[in-house]
Structure 1
Amino acid sequence: MAWASLPMYPWPQPLTEHYWQWLRQHLQQLGEPQLPASLSWPEDYLAHWREPGMLLSQSCGYPVSTLLQAQVQVLGAFHYQLPGCADWRYSSALLVRKSDAGSTLADFRGQRAVCNERHSQSGYHALRAEVAALAGVQPFFAQVRFSGSHRASAGMLAAGEADIAALDCVSHALLARQQPQLFEQLACIGHTRLQPGLPLITAASTPAATVARLRQAIRDSLRAADLQPFLQATAIGGFSPLDLADYAGIASSAEYWRGAGMAEW
C-alpha cells in the first residue's frame, strides 16, 4: 500500500491536502497507478520514512544522509522565497529575545541554548557547526536543552527558559505569520551557513519510472493556476531534482565534529 505525506513544515492543512490532490490527479495522467487517496499525517516520522510503501514525503537532511540512506531516494528540494534561502539551499535563523537583538553568536558563550531535537539539521547540527567554528570542541553553552519542535523552542526563548535557538528559516517565517505575538518578542541575529534544503523523498524500492513521474509532477505543479494559494502560503518558488549525494556533506560535517570530540555540547 502506498503512502504520501508532507509533514515537515507548518503549512495550512487544507491547502496541503489540495496540493496532494492536484499531484495525485496529475500523476494519474502521467500513467502512475495505485496512488494514496489522501495524505498521511504521521506522528513517528522515522518509522514513516522507513516504510517500503512510502511514495512521497518530506524529511530533514540529517536523517536522510545518515539514518535513512539505504531506505529512501531523494527526489529533490523546493526553493523557498524567504530570507535565509537561496535556490534549493536553506539556513537556520539564530533567534534570541529582542533585548539581545544587537548581539552575535559569540556573545552567547556560557548561555543556554534550546534545540528541537538531535536528528535535526536546522535546529541542532547547523548550530553545532557554527559553535564549533568559535569554540572547537570546548564547551560553549552552559546548557543545551531539547524542546521537541521549532515552535516549542521559540516559546522557551520568549518565556526566558533559554537564550538562543536555531530555527529552520522556512519554519521561522511561517511560524511568525501564525504566531505574531510570540515572534514579536524575538529577534534574528544572523543565519547559519547554507545547506541543502529539506528533501522530498520516496522509498528506496520506488521504481525509476515512478521517481521520474514524481519529479515531473512536482515541477509541473509550480505552474498550476489553481495551486497559487498553496504556493503563496508556503513561499515555494521552484524545485530542483537532487539525490542522496547532494546531502552527503551534512553527514560528513556531523561525523567530523563527532570524531573531534564534540558529540555533545
Structure 2
Amino acid sequence: MICALPMYPFPAASLRVFWTALRDNLQRAGLQRLPLELSQPDDLLRHWQRSDLLLSQSCGYPVSTLLRGKVQVVGAWHFDVPGCRHSNYSSTLLVRREDAGKSLAQFGGAVAVCNERHSQSGYHALRSAVAPLARDGRFFSKVLFSGAHRHSAQMVAGGEADIAALDCVSAFLLRQQEPAVFERLAAIGFTESMPGLPLITSLSTPATALAQLRQALSMCCQAPELRDSLGAMRIAGFSALDENDYRICAARAGQNTKDGLADW
C-alpha cells in the first residue's frame, strides 16, 4: 500500500519518527503491507486517486471538487500555530515588511502571487478575501502562479509580487527554514477559517481500515514518546472528518464566481 504526507514542509527527522510510530500502531491493529518509508509523489492528482492509497494528505478545494466521490476523508490534524483552531486553519496574508502598515484594501491594483489554482489556502482563500473589495470583477492588476508556497514567499520578498496567501502552517514552518526570506516579510492578517488539510485514503479502503487509521492517528497525536517530534511538526491533535466537512470550500469558490469575481 502507498502512504505519503506530501503537503507540509515538516522537519524530515520528525516526520520519520512520526511515520515509524504510526506504522507500528497500524501493524499492531492488523494492517499489513505497509511501506517502510513514506512516498514522495510527483503527480499529486494521480497519487491521490490510486486504488492502493492507504494514507495521504490533500487540500480542501480538490477534495470538494476534483476528488469528490473519488477518495475517502480520514480527518485533519490540529496545529499549534497562529491562524489555526482545532482542525480548522486559515491563510496568512504576507507582504513585504515595508508594506506592513497597509490594509488588504490598499493592495488594490497590486500584483498577487498564488501557488496554484486548485489550492484552497493560496488561491481560493485569497480570492474570497478580496471578493468584497473587487470592482467589475477585479481587484489585483495581475495574479502570478509560483507552483509552491515557498516560491510565493520568495517572489514577494524579492519584489516580483506584492502579496501572497500562505497556508498558516506552511508559513510557520517555512519561516524556520528560510529566515532570510521571511525577515523581509510581514503578515497583515488571516483569511477566513476553513477545514484543515484533509488526510485521505482510497475509496477501496475498507471501513475497518478507515477506523483503524483514525484511531492510530489519534493515538499517535497523544503519545508522550512522540512529544518532541509532534512539537517540531506543530501537530497538536487529530479530528475525524468526512467529505461533507469540505463542501464549504467548493461553495465559497462558486459564490465568488457567481458574484462576478472572474479575473480578480
Would the TM-score normalized by the shorter structure come out above 0.5? yes
Match of 1:49 in 2: 48
Alpha-carbon distance between aligned partners in 1 of 2:18 and 2:101, rounded to the nearest angstrom: 40
CA spacing shift, 1:208–1:101, aligned 2, 3 Å: same
CA offsets per residue over residues 101-143 of structure 1, 9 Å max, x none? 0111100001100000001000000000011122265211001
The yes-or-no answer on 1:149 pairing with 2:148 is yes
* Residue identity opposite 1:264 in structure 2: D
Secondary structure of the residue aligned to 2:192 is coil
Deviates more, 1:81-90 or 1:220-229: 220-229
Q: In structure 1, what is the equivalent of residue 23 of structure 2?
A: 24
Superposition RMSD on alpha carbons, in Å?
1.1
Distance 1:8 1:137 in 2: 35
Contact 1:6–1:39 (CA under 8 A) maintained in structure 2: yes
Amino acid at match of 2:35: P
Deviation at 1:33, TM superposition (A): 2.1
Taking the aligned partners of 2:131 and 2:103, their CA distance within structure 1 comes to: 15
Q: Deviations over 1:120-179 (max 9, x none)?
A: 000000000011122265211001000011110010011111000000000000000111
Aligned partner of residue 122 in structure 2, secondary structure: helix
| Secondary structure of residue in 2 paired with 1:118 | coil
Q: Distance in 2 between matches of 1:231 and 1:219?
A: 12
> Are positions 1:122 and 2:121 aligned together?
yes
How far off is 1:71 after superposition?
A: 1.4
With normalisation by structure 1, the TM-score equals 0.97
Deviations 1:177-208, CA, capped at 9 Å, x for gaps: 11111101000000001000001110111100
**2:173 corresponds to:** 174
CA distance in 2, matches of 1:136, 1:259: 14
Query: Partners in 2 of 1:125 and 1:93 — Cα distance?
Result: 13
| Aligned residue number for residue 185 of structure 2 | 186
Distance 1:137 1:22 in 2: 53
Tell me the equivalent position of 1:209: 208
Query: Which residue number corresponds to residue 260 of structure 1?
Result: 259
Identical pairs, percent: 55
1:109 equivalenced with 2:108 (yes/no): yes
Q: Is the 8 A contact 1:137 1:260 kept in 2?
A: no
4+ long deviations beyond 4 Å: none
- Is residue 87 from structure 1 mapped to residue 121 from structure 2 by the alignment? no
Partner Cα distance (1:244, 1:264) in 2: 28
